[in-house]
Amino acid sequence: MISRSMVLWVGVVTVMVAAVLTACSEKSKSGDIAATGPGDPERGRRVYMTVCISCHNPDPSKDGPIGPAIQGASRELLEARVLYQTYPPGYTPKRKTALMPKQPQLAKNIPDLAAYLAR
């Protein structure tokens, strides 16, 4: 039987591998920390399924093994959590944990993730 700590370890390793692979991809053309403009929901889905499901549920409307449901998360919340490991002013977190690491390599994907999660 697989222990909870083994599942957590595999999840952390998966996130780290995905982070390295994403970091090796094309850099934002704008040079901004987070890309601007409308996002592509299909590209956001691919990023979510590649990076986020190691902690969040493949169905973003449901809680995952580590991370909460994030369907409908605002772009402001995504930028704060993914890039800075913070919350937007006035936001009340769904959980009181601070497990999610910064993912600055995903800066250019924030509009795409927001478009996918808005569906």
**pLDDT, tens digit, 9 for 90 and up, residues 15-29:** 554 544 444 443 433
* Predicted confidence (pLDDT) per residue in 64-95, tens digit: 999 999 999 999 999 999 999 999 999 999 88
CATH number at residue 62: 1.10.760
Percent of the chain whose predicted confidence (pLDDT) is above 70: 70
The yes-or-no verdict on residue 45 having pLDDT over 60 is yes
Instruction: Report CA-CA distances (Å) from 98 to 44, 48, 101, 119.
Output: 23, 20, 8, 26
Which pLDDT band holds residue 38 (cuts at 50, 70, 90)?
Answer: confident
Neighbour-count burial of 37, counting CB atoms closer than 10 A to its CB (0-12 exposed, 13-18 middle, 19+ buried)? exposed
**Could you tell me the pTM of the whole model?**
0.68
User: Mean pLDDT across the chain, nearest whole number?
Assistant: 81
Domain that holds residue 24: 4-117
Number of independent structural domains in the chain? 1
Residue type, 41: P
